[in-house]
């Protein structure tokens, strides 16, 4: 019984390794997880004291638990059985597919990543590239928003900078969960996006099972008060003008509304830029019809020193102004109460109209519009901008705080720096290959001047 046993060294090492792993998995790891979770809960409690809209418990749940809730939801179970019957496959195969979709969609929110890294990065990038200005916003309307309601920001999609800009502006009062396309499913960006609370969606997916899983997750988030943001156009604007909305996510959010549950409040948000970083790629995509575009590594490397030099030479942020306007909030229960038969299409039209009304006026689009009308001297461009501002004042459009002369000066300087226009004596002319770029920027505010814009 007490006789010594001789073991090979490799076997002893293997036994000790198994013992260490067992000890860690049963005693050490749970203790470490408990320690860090307690620290996180204390940090979240302190954060919630200063946030206007506290972080929802649904976002703080373990990702594994949310995935389990999602895949075992009765609606998802019905969709699994229906998909299996339609495709002639076993239910367990369809179940595994649904689980894969759930893992793809469900985020893993981290308050420390969101506020410690993400929000700070958004602020650094936004403020280093742009002068940020607030456009239309009624403080009284936003002060009256029900704090228990689910807030949904509905945003026009001009650039991938939209995520950074809106996150920077909202992070002081709330967290925000974006619906993010497949472009961000690349490591390590995918890890950061999930940690920021965003959920991935497949644009244009026609699979019934995938749509059932996505729909149920969005409804769960909405029912639990998660502040969300999505781009109803579905993708970046290729022309500068707003595109027609897609109904998928909007219909899922509306389906989550219950008379006895949380109300849903939509907040229209309009963005406009003096420079969209992807503008040339977007224009090229509009011409070719191919939406899958990305800059080459070489062009990205060349852009960095050029941007830094432009910042030094112009003595202000190299990309000019980025402005954000907030439209009047739309309370879903009140919208439906006016007529129970009102459709999702009507709601989408109202949201898009409210976004269009508050699209900000920034220097480059105003100067581009004036030059496309044939104005070539600084004085005539300034007069044209002043005339446009005077006209828009009568339509109730929120005007920039700067004068027409200041707007013309800044817009011309930015366009000259990008070689969109050239100066000859006292006049300016459009560079022949760059007219499409002026068309792109002028299109962002053209709807303000249409006969039916009022």
- pLDDT of 32 reads 55
Mean pLDDT in residue range 402-428: 94
Whether pLDDT at 206 is above 70: no
Q: Per-residue confidence at 369, pLDDT binned at 50, 70, 90?
A: very high
> Domain locations in the chain?
51-276+319-359, 289-318, 363-449
The string of pLDDT tens digits covering residues 134-158 is 887 777 787 788 888 999 999 999 9
pLDDT of residue 384: 97
Alpha helices in 315-403 (DSSP H): 332-338, 344-357, 363-372, 378-394
What's the pLDDT at 41? 61
pLDDT band of residue 454 (cuts 50, 70, 90) is very low
CATH match for 363-449 among 3.40.50.1010, 1.10.600.10, 3.90.226.10, 1.10.10.10: 1.10.10.10
Q: pLDDT at position 270, please?
A: 96
pTM of the entire predicted model: 0.85
Higher pLDDT, 273 or 54: 273
Q: What pLDDT is stored for residue 29 in this prediction?
A: 55
Residue 319 neighbours by CB under 8 Å, 6+ apart: 129, 130, 273, 274, 275, 277, 307
φ and ψ at residue 325, rounded to 5 degrees: -115, 145
Phi-psi region of 201 (alpha: psi -120 to 50; beta: other; left: phi over 0): beta
Residues 422 and 264 sit within 8 Å (Cβ to Cβ): no
Instruction: Quote the pLDDT of residue 362.
Output: 96
Lowest mean pLDDT among 22-36, 73-87, 255-269, 372-386: 22-36
pLDDT in tens, 172-190: 888 889 988 766 666 666 7
Average pLDDT over residues 317-330: 89
Specify the higher pLDDT residue, 34 or 187: 187
Any idea which architecture 51-276+319-359 has in CATH? 3-Layer(aba) Sandwich (3.40)
The least confident of 167-176, 323-332, 370-379 is 167-176
| Section 202-215 average pLDDT | 84
Q: Kindly indicate the confidence band of residue 235, based on its pLDDT and cuts at 50, 70 and 90.
A: confident
Rounded to whole angstroms, the Cα distance separating 447 from 243 reads 12
- Between 20 and 47, the higher pLDDT residue: 20
Check pLDDT > 80 for residue 445: yes
- DSSP string for residues in 178-201: EEE-GGG-STTHHHHHHHTT-EE-
Closest CA to 158 of 307, 14, 299, 282: 282
pLDDT at 364 over 60: yes
pLDDT exceeds 70 at position 103: yes
Cα 364 to Cα 367: distance, rounded to the nearest angstrom: 5
Predicted local distance difference test score (pLDDT) of residue 112: 81
What is the residue-wise DSSP string for 437-453?
Answer: HHHHHHHHHHGGGSTT-
pLDDT value of residue 297: 46
Of 265 and 195, the one with more pLDDT: 265
């Amino acid at each position: 019984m007490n006789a010594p046993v001789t073991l090979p060294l490799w076997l002893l090492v293997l036994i000790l390794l198994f013992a260490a792993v067992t000890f860690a998995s049963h005693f050490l790891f749970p203790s470490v997880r408990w320690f860090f979770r307690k620290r996180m809960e204390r940090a979240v409690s302190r954060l919630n004291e200063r946030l206007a809209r506290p972080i929802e418990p649904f976002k703080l749940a373990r990702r594994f638990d949310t995935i389990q809730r999602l895949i075992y939801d009765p609606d998802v179970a019905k969709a699994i059985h229906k998909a299996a019957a339609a495709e002639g496959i076993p239910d367990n195969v369809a179940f595994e597919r649904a689980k894969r979709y759930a893992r793809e969609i469900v985020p893993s929110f981290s308050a420390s990543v969101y506020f410690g890294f993400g929000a700070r990065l958004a602020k650094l990038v936004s403020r280093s590239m742009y002068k940020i200005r607030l456009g239309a916003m009624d403080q009284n309307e936003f002060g009256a928003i029900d704090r228990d309601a689910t807030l949904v920001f509905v945003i026009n999609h001009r650039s991938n900078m939209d995520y950074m800009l809106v996150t920077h502006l909202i992070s002081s009062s709330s967290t925000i969960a974006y619906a993010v396309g497949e472009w961000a499913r690349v490591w390590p960006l995918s890890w950061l996006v999930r940690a920021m609370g965003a959920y991935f969606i497949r644009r244009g997916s026609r699979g019934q099972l995938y749509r059932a899983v996505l729909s149920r997750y969005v409804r769960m988030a909405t029912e639990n008060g998660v502040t969300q943001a999505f781009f109803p156009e579905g993708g970046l604007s290729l022309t500068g003008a707003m595109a027609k909305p897609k109904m998928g996510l909007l219909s899922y959010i509306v389906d989550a509304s219950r008379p006895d549950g949380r109300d849903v409040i939509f907040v229209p948000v309009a963005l406009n830029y003096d420079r969209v970083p992807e503008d040339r790629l977007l224009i090229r995509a509009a011409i070719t019809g191919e939406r899958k575009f990305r800059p080459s590594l070489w062009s990205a490397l060349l852009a960095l020193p050029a941007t830094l030099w432009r910042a030094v030479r112009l003595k202000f942020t190299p990309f000019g102004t980025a402005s954000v306007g907030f439209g009047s909030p739309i309370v879903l229960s009140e919208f439906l109460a006016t007529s129970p038969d009102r459709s999702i299409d009507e709601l989408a039209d109202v949201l898009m109209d409210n976004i269009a009304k508050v699209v900000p006026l920034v220097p480059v689009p105003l100067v581009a519009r004036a030059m496309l009308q044939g104005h070539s001297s600084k004085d005539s461009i300034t007069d044209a901008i002043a005339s446009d501002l005077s006209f828009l004042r009568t339509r109730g459009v929120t005007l920039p705080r700067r004068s027409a002369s200041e707007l013309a000066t800044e817009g011309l300087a930015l366009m000259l720096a990008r070689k969109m226009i050239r100066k000859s004596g006292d006049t300016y002319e459009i560079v022949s290959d760059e007219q499409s770029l002026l068309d792109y920027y002028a299109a962002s505010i053209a709807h303000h001047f249409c006969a039916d814009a009022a």
